[in-house]
Amino acid sequence: MLIDDDPSQDASTANDADDAGRGSPMPPADPAEVENLTREVLTGLGLDLSVTARDTETSIEVDIEGADRDLLLDRHGEALNALQYLLNRIVYRGRGGKKIHLDSGGYRKNREDEIVDIARRAAEAAKSRGKEQLLSPLNPYERRLVHLALGEIDGVTTRSVGDGFLKRVAVVPTGPGTKRTDR
């Protein structure tokens, strides 16, 4: 994040300077272009998959189906996550815009439900045993799901443990009747 040390330069002046140096702001991503780019990448990888994209209020949703679908979903969807990251980087190249979300046959929703269910079971175990429970390593989005899901449960708190991209979440008992207050 950039910090502006010169408070005399207001936001409109800064934006005008940026626009003058780079031209007008980039238009938002077009779902048809995102769909075509996704198809090109998958075809280039030799995968037999069909792609459809649609624009929602907050994101561009891309659904991928076909014979090679399972290759994207192996290892908790690592390839799907990697492709999603790559597409966002290519399309936006450092500028803001609607997030591109990839899914295949409802995999993401099922995975989110699975993570929340595991987190809730860990919370119950932490409360009943009075011992910290460690979840398997999760990516940042999955960790966020856990923190949000358990944030409103009395008797436990959560914290991320480890370094790097994949970290574990510790579910820590806080005692009966205690509610999380650090979020």
Return the domain boundaries, the chain.
28-105, 113-173
Structure tokens at 110: 């099922």
Please write the tens of the pLDDT for every residue from 147-162.
Answer: 999 998 999 999 999 9
Structure tokens at 181: 């207050």
Res. 144 pLDDT band, cuts 50 70 90 = very high
Is 52:63 a contact under the CB 8 Å cutoff? yes
* Secondary-structure class of domain 113-173 per CATH: alpha beta
- Token look-up 């780079």 returns 22
pLDDT at site 28? 73
Is 80 exceeded by the pLDDT of residue 15? no
What is the arithmetic mean of pLDDT over 22-40?
Answer: 79
What is the arithmetic mean of pLDDT over 78-107?
Answer: 90
Is 80 exceeded by the pLDDT of residue 109? yes
CATH fold for the domain made of 28-105: GMP Synthetase; Chain A, domain 3 (3.30.300)
What is the arithmetic mean of pLDDT over 120-127?
Answer: 96
